[in-house]
Amino acid sequence: MKELVISKIKNGTVIDHINSGKALLVLKILGIDMETSLTVSMAMNVPSSKMGKKDIVKVEGMFISDDELNKIALISPNATINLIKDYEIERKFKVTPPEVVEGVLKCPNPMCISNAEREPVKSIFYISMEDKEVTARCHYCRRKIKDLAKYIS
């Protein structure tokens, strides 16, 4: 099988084994947008022996905190993280879903206080695994959601 080689980075964070098509959402979760001055490279729908197809994101010159990286588990529970220093892998780990996320997901319940136009409050969701699927429950209205990629705000 042909392998797509993305340029190596000197220092920074590589997020591999992202579910295919979710790379842009990963950037959103990490707060990286069009305004960023960071060097970001991204590959989508790369052939993968484990996953069929996968996405990869590389962020040069930035070590993203574990807490931030673990939010990626909401949409890609199998993502792996490589922290690179001087072209070598310094640390490698799998993301684990956080117990609580604030301000990442949008509650689908229009009556929820987190969607109120007056005095909106920051969304808070409690994360759990149900049938190998990442599930979130709203702190305010208790609404339960799956397929979290739809609710990234």
Using CB under 5 A, list all residues that contact Zn ion: 107, 109, 112, 138, 140-141, 143
**Which residue number, 28 or 143, has a Cβ lying nearer to Zn ion?**
143
How many angstroms separate the first and last alpha carbons of the chain? 37
Nearest distance from residue 126's CB to Zn ion, in Å?
11
**Which residue number, 84 or 112, has a Cβ lying nearer to Zn ion?**
112
Return the amino acid letter for 45.
N
**Which residue number, 84 or 124, has a Cβ lying nearer to Zn ion?**
124
**Which residue number, 122 or 132, has a Cβ lying nearer to Zn ion?**
122
How many Å apart are CA 121 and CA 123, to the nearest integer?
6
Nearest distance from residue 111's CB to Zn ion, in Å?
8
Nearest distance from residue 137's CB to Zn ion, in Å?
9
- The candidate with the shortest Cα–Cα distance to 58, out of 34, 90, 23, is 23
How many Å apart are CA 136 and CA 142, to the nearest integer?
9
How many Å apart are CA 84 and CA 10, to the nearest integer?
7
- The candidate with the shortest Cα–Cα distance to 8, out of 33, 41, 54, is 41
Nearest distance from residue 89's CB to Zn ion, in Å?
40
Q: How distant is the alpha carbon of residue 33 from its chain centre? A: 14
